[in-house]
Amino acid sequence: MMIEKKIYSSILKALPKKNRYPLSEPEINNVDKRIILECLKTGWVSSNGIYLLKFKKKIQQILKNKFIVPVINGTSALHLALIAAKIKKNDEVIIPDLSYVSAANSIKYLGATPNLVDIETDSYSICPKKLEFYIKKICIKKNGFLLNKNTGRYIKALILVHVFGYTGNIIKIKQLCKKYNLKFIEDSSECLGSFFKKKHLGTFGDFGVLSFNGNKIITTGGGGAVICNSKKNYKLLKHISANSKINHKWKFYHDRIGYNYRLSNLAASLGYSQILRLNYFLKKRSKLYTKYLKYFSSIKEIQMYKPIKDSKPNHWLMSFRINKKYANQQSKILSYLIKKKIFVRPPWELMSSLPMYKRCPKDKNINAQNVQKTVICLPSSL
Ligand SMILES: Cc1ncc(COP(=O)(O)O)c(C=O)c1O
């Protein structure tokens, strides 16, 4: 049988019967609707209100971290994290070539430049070996920082992207950040409910980021949060996310450039209702993952993604990889399944292939190219 037909029949076995199979859709129920209505009745729909407090408290409990600032989306959270990491114009920041565009964009918002490095093929996140090789090849240490010899600019931070809710090579990357004096930011946008060695992703770095976009494990419509590990940075993040307005009963005084990035109470009311069901969403995805494993095990041309040791993922987006011999079949499989209303997708296009980032400093990134061409993400929310 053709490979795409084998995959199609296995997907149908794993999923409940439907007319269409979305990749990752929100599940909004009557409790969500009732809580949103309650929020509307209070009249507190903007940047203050009880649901913001309740939602934040729940995130704090799950992450076991009190320094959480809810914001309007994951992209603004990355932007704020970079500001708090003191990234300025003409600095450079390391990111994986395979990442969502928000990391590169938020670096550019500050007039800084991304450096695009390679990933490892088991976790799809930055490869520590390749990272160190890249650093040694292009940098010298100067004034306590890494100086990129080719551009004459300092590399000040690194963003590790945890891909599809699974843990990146966090311990080794953290050690390298320490060794080379890089601020360590975790893009854990897709990772609410994901743990490594019982510690929530996003809480390992100097800063972490969450997204509550409509396609994520829980949603606030659009929303996100920045996570940090010090009171000082928490205060700073809170301040600049609220237009840098000083606390005063009537005065409108702003002491630095700020951003209107606060999450609304209305959005938080949906988030609060949703986060109460987080365990249900996690269990549902975990069950589906087991089914995919079972039904895909006989297809020799592909391999399901396997989480790294000691991790407990949220299985936000399940994926498989086409084996080397069949690597050129990705488009054929995608188009066949999408025609059948099974909304699979490939990973993001590499940053080095986008017009605004193709001239950034970069390594060869062979693994990123391979993963981009051979991985397919599966419907994951049914
Ligand atoms: C890895 C990653 N980073 C950042 C973002 C940005 O989050 P948002 O869409 O909430 O701005 C997303 C979400 O789409 C993402 O998947």
Angle between helices 170-179 and 128-138 (to 10 degrees): 20
* Domain membership flag for residue 367: no
Centre of ligand 1 to C-alpha 52, Å, is 21
* 144 and 266 together in one domain: yes
Cα distance between residue 153 and residue 78, in whole Å: 21
- Find out whether the beta carbon of 102 lies less than 6 Å from any atom of ligand 1: yes
Nearest to 378 by CA among 328, 301, 315, 324: 315
* 7 and 70 together in one domain: no
The CATH number assigned to the domain holding 243 equals 3.40.640.10
Centre of ligand 1 to C-alpha 75, Å, is 6
- Find out whether the beta carbon of 190 lies less than 6 Å from any atom of ligand 1: yes
Centre of ligand 1 to C-alpha 36, Å, is 24
* Domain membership flag for residue 382: no
pTM, to two decimals: 0.97
Structure tokens at 108: 């550019």
Under a CB-based contact definition with an 8 Å cutoff, are residues 78 and 185 in contact? yes
Atom of ligand 1 nearest to the CA of 211: 10
* Domain membership flag for residue 181: yes
- Find out whether the beta carbon of 186 lies less than 6 Å from any atom of ligand 1: no
* Domain membership flag for residue 136: yes
Cα distance between residue 304 and residue 326, in whole Å: 15
Q: Which helix (H) or strand (E) holds 319?
A: strand 319-322
Centre of ligand 1 to C-alpha 99, Å, is 10
> Which domain range does residue 342 map to?
3-27+278-349
Residue of 76, 99, 100 best suited for mutating to test ligand 1, as the one with most atoms within 8 Å of CB? 100
- Find out whether the beta carbon of 24 lies less than 6 Å from any atom of ligand 1: no
Centre of ligand 1 to C-alpha 295, Å, is 30
* 266 and 161 together in one domain: yes
Check residue 288 and report its DSSP letter. H
Q: Give SS3 for 224.
A: strand
* Per-residue model confidence as pLDDT tens for the chain (382 residues): 799 999 999 999 999 999 999 999 999 999 999 999 999 999 999 999 999 999 999 999 999 999 999 999 999 999 999 999 999 999 999 999 999 999 999 999 999 999 999 999 999 999 999 999 999 999 999 999 999 999 999 999 999 999 999 999 999 999 999 999 999 999 999 999 999 999 999 999 999 999 999 999 999 999 999 999 999 999 999 999 999 999 999 999 999 999 999 999 999 999 999 999 999 999 999 999 999 999 999 999 999 999 999 999 999 999 999 998 998 999 999 999 999 999 999 999 999 999 999 999 999 999 999 999 999 999 999 9
- Find out whether the beta carbon of 74 lies less than 6 Å from any atom of ligand 1: yes
